[in-house]
Structure formats: C-alpha cells, structure tokens
Amino acid sequence: MKTFFEMRPIFSALLRNKLGPFLVATQVALSLAILVNAIYIVNLRLDAAARPSGVANELDVFRVHIGNQKLGGHEDQMAMQKQEAATIRAVPGVTSVARTNSFPISHSGSNSSVYNDRKQTIKTADSGIYFTADSLVKTWGLQLIQGQDFQAGDYIETDPNTSKEFVKKVIVSKALAEKLFPDQTNFVGKEFFFGSGDDAKDVRIIGVVETLQTSSGQTEPRGAYTTLMPARLSNISYEVYAVRAEPGQRDRVMKEVENALRRDSTTPIKVTMKTMENMRIARYRSEKGLAWMLLAVSVLLMLVTASGIVGMSTLWVAQRRKQIGVRRALGARKVDILRYFITENIVITSGGIVVGIALSIGLNQILVSQFELSKLPLPYLFFAPFIFWTLGLIATFGPASRAAGISPATATRSA
C-alpha cells in the first residue's frame, strides 16, 4: 500500500511535465532497438569470421603460386606440374601437396551452377569449384563423412581451352549434398549436373566432406556449397599449390619451398606465398571492421542515453528544490528522496523499454527481409531491458543523491 501511494505523486509529476519524460523514453526506445540489433549483427559477423573453413589446422597450411613460367604444350605442362609438386614434396617438413585452382576464403576462385536434372530451367544452387590433381582431402585435412577420396583412375588431364572432357566423379560438401538432395541422408552414388540442357555434364558423388567453404566464404548457406573435381588442367594461369607442413614448421618450410622451386627451375620464376592465416584475416577484415564500428555506435548510444537521463534528472532536481525541502521538513528521509527519483526513472525507462522491444522486432523484420539475416533470438530481448534499467539507475544516482542531500532549511530559504 505504501508503494502505491508513493507512485501517485510520481505519475502526477510526469503528467504535468510530459515533454521531458517523453523525450527520455523515446531516446531509450530508439537506443534499445538499435543496440539490440547492432549487437546481434556484431555476434553474427564475429561468428562468421570464426567459422571453420573445412581446412584442418589452418596454421600449418599455405598457398604457393608460381608465375613467369615458360609454358610449352599440354604434355610439357603436365610434366612441369608434376615436377613442381615433386620438388615441393621433397622439402623436409612438407607432409602433403596438391595442385588446385583456389583456396577457401581466399577471395579468388570459380563457381558453377548445378542442377538436379538437365531439363531444369532454374538452377538448384551455385557451387564453388576446386580442381585438384592430388588429394585435397589429405592436404587440407578435410573430414570425409561419406564415401571415399579420389583414386588414381579418377583423375583426368586436360586442356579446357581445347577439350570438352569432363570429370565423372566428384566429392561435395555436406551443405551442397543436402541442398541437392534434401530428402536423402546417403549421398554417395547420387548424380547431378553442371549446366542444363543437352550440354549438361553429369557427375556422380563418390564422397562427402563435413565442411568446405567457397573461395568467397559467403556468410549465407551458399558459402558452404562446394565441389572437388579430380582434374589436372593445362593453360590455366591461376592454378596454385596447396601445401601442408608439419606442425610448427610452416614458416621454415615456406622459405625452403621457395628456394627449392627457384633452384630447380630452368628459367627465372616468380614465387608468391600466402598462409591460410592471412587469407582468413583478409577475408574477414570487413566483417570485423563492421563489428567494431557497430560496437562503437552502441557505446555512443549508451552514453547519449545516459547523458539524457542525467540531464533530465539534474534539471528536475533544480526545479523541485522547494518541494524536496518541504518533504524533508515534513520528515522525509534522504533515502525516501533517493528512492523517489530512482523509482521515477524506472517508470520512464520501463515505458521506453516496452516501446523499444517492439521497435527492435520491427527493425529486425526489415533487416531479415532486406539482408537475409535470421530472426532476432529471444534472449536479446530479455537481456536488453536489464541493461537499460541498470544504465538508468547509474545515470540517475548522482542527481538523486544531490537531491537527497538538500537541506530543509536551505530549500525553504531559497523558496
């Protein structure tokens, strides 16, 4: 009953001075809506940056690109590629090497549309493509969950500029297999097509890996739609070597691989290398930059909101010095004055929180429809009110303490 009577003067005061409480509640509502969605996006971006690429022990893996080579015909190029791989493999500390066209999350690669049926007019998905002349499953440490790795007879050697020869067997990521065959659990032996119509190329799945991101590493599900193809290609300028070193030996192995390639080449070549670690940093630099920017905006919003609450509370204390003095003269304790202002702030903040939760849901719906984000999890809406209640209490405590310290005599004389 005592609490009820304490609330009456609070509501009366708020109704007499509507503009100030309305502005603070509005500020709380907008800040909460922006903060909740900003923190959610930050978590999504950081989670995306931490996603496994599919490559095991990334710190031990690096990429080798050889340029300025003197290229002969198709047969000469095939021999040269095998010799380069052998040179790299002979370096102490190299555990595996595979020629390929790209790396996961490297920002450089190729993709192709895949179909369940050659008569389809709309593609089923776009798949990232990894050509491999050796075992990428071994070199990248991919987790094979169904089927088997490529065997010697599965690989083809072809010049894509002059030949239409195409692989017949492929290994796909689990995500792509589930996209192609959503009602199946065993994907080995399933067939699908690259392209549509009479020119579509049919392939059969012989293995499925748990995870393998595309070269772009998109944050959407399509970022994990990938296919490994057993092919050694000539006349392709962007082919590189994937190399795995023994744990802790990567940096030394990189230097020795470069020296070995230069030493064994009959002509001057350009050797460039990049680690998986640096690829990850480069790929997710923008995501982390956005995350830090949103965190900075969130902190600024909190500070602005707190400043607004402090400003309003300070103004009200100054305007109510006479009333506070009267209450003190009538026997109100300091704790009663302190409780009054804190309760008043909780009422205003709570009103802003209720509206802010509704705005958070509405803003999230817009983001979901425009940017393919997932729906806002409920825990965000549960924890946000506590943040703003705490912020309000901290921001109000200073002005409320000064109000509680007003002397009854001083307040009476100032009247």
pLDDT per residue as tens digits for the range 86-109 = 999 999 999 999 999 999 999 888
With respect to residue 280, please indicate whether it lies within any of the assigned structural domains: no
Looking at residue 237, what is its pLDDT?
Answer: 73
Pair (220, 114) in one structural domain: yes
Q: Measure the CA–CA gap between 348 and 151, rounded to whole angstroms.
A: 70
Q: What are the pLDDT digits (tens) for 145-168?
A: 999 999 999 999 999 888 889 999
Q: Which phi and psi (to 5°) does residue 243 adopt? A: -130, 135
Q: Residue 4: pLDDT band by 50, 70, 90 thresholds?
A: very low
40/96 same-domain check: no
List the alpha helices (DSSP H) in 237-284: 250-264, 276-283
211-239 as b/e: b if 16+ CB within 10 A: bbbbbbbbbeebbbbbbbbbbbbbebeeb
Output the CA–CA distances (angstroms, integers) from residue 247 to 57, 60, 95, 100, 323, in the order listed.
8, 6, 10, 22, 74
Whether residue 247 sits in one domain with residue 145: yes
Q: What is the dihedral of CA 88, 282, 68, 244, to 10 degrees?
A: 10
Q: How many domains does the chain have?
A: 2
- 105 shares a domain with 186: yes
158 φ, ψ (degrees, to nearest 5): -150, 155
Indicate the residue among 238, 268, 298 that finishes a domain: 268
Q: Do 230 and 123 fall within a single domain?
A: yes
Assigned domain for 62 exists: no
Same domain, 357 and 260: no
Q: What is the mean pLDDT of residues 271-290?
A: 90
- Contact status, residue 248 vs residue 36, Cβ threshold 8 Å: no
pTM over 0.85: no
Q: Is 150 exposed, middle or buried (0-12, 13-18, 19+ CB in 10 A)?
A: buried
If asked whether residues 401 and 298 sit together in one domain, one would say: yes
Residues 202 and 334 reside in one and the same domain: no
Position 258 scores a pLDDT of: 95
pLDDT (average), residues 335-361: 82
Contact present, 105 and 217 (Cβ < 8 Å): yes
Structure tokens at 169: 């067997």
Give the mean pLDDT of the chain: 86
Does residue 340 form part of some domain?
yes
The more confidently predicted of residues 116 and 67 is 116
Distance separating alpha carbons of residues 316 and 341, to the nearest angstrom: 9
| Same-domain status, 350 and 407 | yes
Which residue range forms the structural domain that includes residue 122?
A: 69-268
Residue 341 pLDDT > 90: no
Q: Is residue 393 within 8 Å of residue 342, measured between CB atoms?
A: yes
Supply the DSSP symbol for 284: T
pLDDT, tens digit, 9 for 90 and up, residues 351-368? 888 998 999 899 888 888
- Closest residue by Cα to residue 396 from 313, 302, 305: 313
Domain endpoint, select from 240, 268, 296: 268
197 to each of 115, 122, 156, 189, 236, how far by Cα in Å? Answer: 10, 11, 24, 22, 26
User: Domain for residue 136, yes or no?
Assistant: yes
Residue 207 maps to a domain: yes
Domain end residue (candidates: 213, 234, 268): 268
Structure tokens at 113: 């549309």
Looking at the fold, whether 146 and 20 belong to one and the same domain comes out as no
The answer to whether residues 244 and 296 belong to one domain is no
Question: Are residues 134 and 188 part of one domain?
Answer: yes
Residue 273 belongs to a domain: no
Pairing of strands 125-132, 226-233: parallel
Please state, in angstroms and as integers, the Cα–Cα distance from residue 287 to each residue in 28, 97, 139, 274, 281, following that order: 27, 31, 28, 21, 10
Q: Residue 5 — pLDDT band, cuts 50, 70, 90?
A: very low
pLDDT of 294 strictly over 60: yes
Assigned token pair, 392? 């309000």
* Residue 64 belongs to some domain of the structure: no
- 321 inside domain: yes
The string of DSSP codes covering 74-130 is HHHHHHHHHHHHHHHHTSTTEEEEEEES--TTSS--EEEEEESSTT-SS-SEEEEEE
